[in-house]
Amino acid sequence: MQNTQLFTGKAQAYAAARPSYPAAALDYIASLLPPDAVIADIGAGTGKFTQLLAERGYTVHAVEPNEDMLAQLQPHANITAHHAAAEATGLPAHSVDAITVAQALHWFDLTAFTAECKRIAKPGAQVIAIYNNTPSGTSIAYSTWATDDFFTSPTVREFANPIDYTRERWAIYRTSHSYDPRPGDPDFAAHMAEVHAQFDRDSVNGLLRKEVVTQVHHHHLRWGSSLRGNT
């Protein structure tokens, strides 16, 4: 299990500036699920993906270990928040039709998470990992090794999700990662100077465009060994 406090103090920036997920990706995920699906959204963070699921009528359990992140989750009649870890969600056994993980699989102990998936999932449940990958961004490496370690022969689909950043949103975005310095850190001023220099260098007409690609990996959870997860 990873350090759950790495995003403490970053939740507002995360909620304000991280990319959302395209409607086409949600349409595809919906095609995999029963219309009345109960979903466990694990590592829900600030609820960016959770909210989209709830708005489509699904019953969603948002599981997130960081209190700052969970506090950003917008209330919704279809969402129940759980302050818990991916590896020990506290959800009842065999209670969910699908398990989703958006931008978070690389944070989990994959062996323990695989066991928890098998515990909480109904037979035939889908396990779905979603990543917004920015060209030249660190998430590409993280998503690749996490999905390669977790899944065996998943189905993978990609969806365009271009993002146009204003200067303000770009600056906020570049403080939202676990590794970004915080105000007061010795290297914060230099980091922000580089952030603004990149915007000045790469923006066009006041916008910096990133050709984000949303990847959806999914696989039915079978009770034998459909997920590797180092087991």
pLDDT, one tens digit per residue, over 112-129 is: 999 999 999 999 899 999
What token pair was written down for 84? 């818990």
5-14, 134-143, 200-209: which is most confident: 200-209
* Interatomic CA distance for residues 229 and 139, integer angstroms: 19
Residues 146, 129 contacting (CB under 8 angstroms): yes
Give the pLDDT of residue 3.
62
The DSSP letter of residue 129 is: E
What token pair was written down for 12? 């507002």
Q: In Å, how far are 1, 12, 111, 115, 137 from 108, measured between CA atoms?
A: 6, 22, 9, 12, 20
The pLDDT mean for the chain works out to 92
Question: What pTM was computed for the model?
Answer: 0.93
Give the pLDDT of residue 231.
27
Q: Is 57 helix (H, G, I), strand (E, B) or coil?
A: coil
DSSP strands (E only) in the chain: 38-42, 59-64, 79-83, 96-102, 121-133, 155-160, 163-165, 208-210, 213-220
Q: Tens of pLDDT along 158-181?
A: 999 999 999 999 999 999 999 999
Q: Tens of pLDDT along 176-221?
A: 999 999 998 999 999 999 999 999 999 999 999 999 999 999 987 6
Does position 1 have pLDDT exceeding 60, yes or no?
no
Q: Which pLDDT band, with edges at 50, 70 and 90, does 31 fall under?
A: very high
- Cα–Cα nearest to 173, from 42, 12, 1, 17: 17
Say if strands 121-133 and 38-42 run parallel, antiparallel, or are unpaired.
unpaired
Q: Which amino acid is at 188?
A: F
Q: Which pLDDT band, with edges at 50, 70 and 90, does 225 fall under?
A: very low
Residues 169, 17 contacting (CB under 8 angstroms): yes
Share of the chain above pLDDT 70, in %: 94
Lowest-confidence range among 18-27, 49-58, 94-103, 131-140?
131-140
Q: Tens of pLDDT along 33-62?
A: 999 999 999 999 999 999 999 999 999 999
DSSP H stretches of helix in 87-205: 110-120, 139-150, 167-173, 188-202
Does position 142 have pLDDT exceeding 60, yes or no?
yes
